[in-house]
């Protein structure tokens, strides 16, 4: 695996540090799937049925939810519903690896642009709890870091590769 992740600054504004840490977590997930075949990305090696490609798809939609639907109040579509709450984890036969990775890259780039255009104390437009952008970023760092740990385990079970 090639480590092409950004370095998180040791000094800078809170916004710069949080955004850089979020981007590093986002980039880490892509490193976890680097070099695997489409078959391996779709293969589940755990009883839950989770796959690495499903995890990428899930996190793309989690970004869309928090940054676009909750923070900006956009009316956007999701792969889940009340009838199918796990739709964002499922990789359909017509889903391509390239399309899911592109979706993830697009949603993470949008999240970065949203962060750069806002203030950490801005309150989400569609949050009954009054989440600020700061809270959303911290939550997303935690969410992606947790799934990166899961991705480590899945990757090791698939091909023995480990990494940071």
Domains and CATH numbers, the chain: 14-159 (1.20.120.450)
Residue 127 scores a pLDDT above 60:
yes
With a threshold of 0.75, does the pTM exceed it? yes
Residue 1 scores a pLDDT above 60:
no
Cα dihedral sign for 16, 25, 31, 94? negative
Residue 25 scores a pLDDT above 80:
yes
In percent, how much of the chain has pLDDT > 70? 97
* pLDDT at position 114: 98
Could you give the CA distance from residue 3 to residue 164 in angstroms, rounded to a whole number? 9
Residue 21 scores a pLDDT above 70:
yes
């Amino acid at each position: 695996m090639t480590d092409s992740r950004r370095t998180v600054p040791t000094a800078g504004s809170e916004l710069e540090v949080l955004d850089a840490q979020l981007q590093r977590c986002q980039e880490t997930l892509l490193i976890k799937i680097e070099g695997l075949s489409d078959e391996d990305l779709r293969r589940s090696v755990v009883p839950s049925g989770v796959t690495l490609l499903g995890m990428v798809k899930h996190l793309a939609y989690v970004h869309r939810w928090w940054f676009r639907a909750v923070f900006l109040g956009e009316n956007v579509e999701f792969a889940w519903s009340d009838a199918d709450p796990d739709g964002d984890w499922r990789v359909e036969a017509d889903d391509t690896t390239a399309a899911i990775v592109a979706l993830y890259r697009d949603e993470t780039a949008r999240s970065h642009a949203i962060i750069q255009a806002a203030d950490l104390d801005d309150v989400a437009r569609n949050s009954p709890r009054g989440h600020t952008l700061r809270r959303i970023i911290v939550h997303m760092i935690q969410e992606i870091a947790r799934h990166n740990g899961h991705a480590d385990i899945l990757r090791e079970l698939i091909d023995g590769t480990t990494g940071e």
